[in-house]
Amino acid sequence: MRTKADIQKQIIQAVDEVKKTNPMAGSITNSVTINFVANAQLAVGGSAAMVYLPDEGEFLAKAGGATYINVGTLTPIYGQTLPLTAKTLYENGKPWVLDPVAVGIGSLRTELLRQFKAYKPSVIRGNASEIIALAGLWGLDGGTKASNVRGVDSTDSVIAAKNAAVALARWTGGAVAVSGKTDLITDGFAVVFSHGGSHFMEKITGAGCSLGGVVGVYAAVTSPFIAAVTGTAVYNLAGKRAESKTDGPAGFQLEFLNELYKATAADIAGNPFDVEEV
C-alpha cells in the first residue's frame, strides 16, 4: 500500500534529481503551445527539444531521457513521425508521455492513437473526456467509443474517468493523469487526488500541454506514477500561487512560469493531495 509519506518522499527525490541533472525531455507537440511547453520544462529544471520530422523523432527517442507526444495539431508528416517515434521509444524501453488531444476527431488522429496502444506510453495525460474516449478506442474498461471531447475541452467529470484511467494504467503498466478541478492520478492500483490550481488555467492556451511536457521531465528520473503526481502537484501549487498575484490571464501566465521556477521540492511535496487504493 502506498502511503502519503512515501509518495511525498519520492516527490522530493524526483524534484531534486531534475534540478541536479537537467534531464532532456524532448517533445513532438501542439504547434499552438510549443513555446509554453518548452518554457515550462525549462522552469522546473529540465531541458527541452522540439522536433517534427521522422528521423528527428527517432533520434530523440533513442537519445533523450524521456519524450512527450501531443497529437493536438497534426500535419501529414506526423503520420510517419509519431508511430516511428513511439515504436522506437517502446523498443528501447524509454519513458514517454502521451497527450491524446481531441481523441475521436479525424481519421489520422484516430489511427495514430489506435497504434499507440501497442507501444504502451509510460504516462497518459488528458482531460476526463479524452481519457474515457481513449479507453474506448483501445477496447478497455470504463471507455466509450462515442467521444465527448469538445475541441480540447472535457464534457465529463474527472471522477467519471476513474475506471477508464485505472484500465489504461493497468494496460500500459504506467500511469494516467486526468486533469480537472481536482486532478486524478493512478497507476491502476493507487489513486491520488491532487488539489490546487487556478481557474485562469482555463483562460490560457497550453496549461494541459505544458503539464504533459513537465511530466516528461520528471519521467526521465522517476517512475511514471511519481512523475505524474509530481508534475500535477507543481502545477497545482504554481497555479494557486500565481493566481494570488494577478487578476487576468496574461499576468497569470507570466507569474505561473515564475512560480514553477521558484517551487522547492518541499513545497511541491507539501501541496495537498489524498491517496486511496483501487
Binding region for ATP: 125, 179
Question: Are 71 and 112 spatial neighbours (Cβ–Cβ below 8 Å)?
Answer: yes
Q: Is 116 exposed, middle or buried (0-12, 13-18, 19+ CB in 10 A)?
A: buried
**Annotated binding-site ranges for substrate:** 50, 206
Taking the C-alpha atoms of residue 32 and residue 205, their distance in angstroms, rounded to an integer, is 8
**Annotated binding-site ranges:** 50, 125, 179, 206
**Residues with Cβ within 8 Å of residue 55, at least 6 apart in sequence:** none
Taking the C-alpha atoms of residue 45 and residue 52, their distance in angstroms, rounded to an integer, is 23
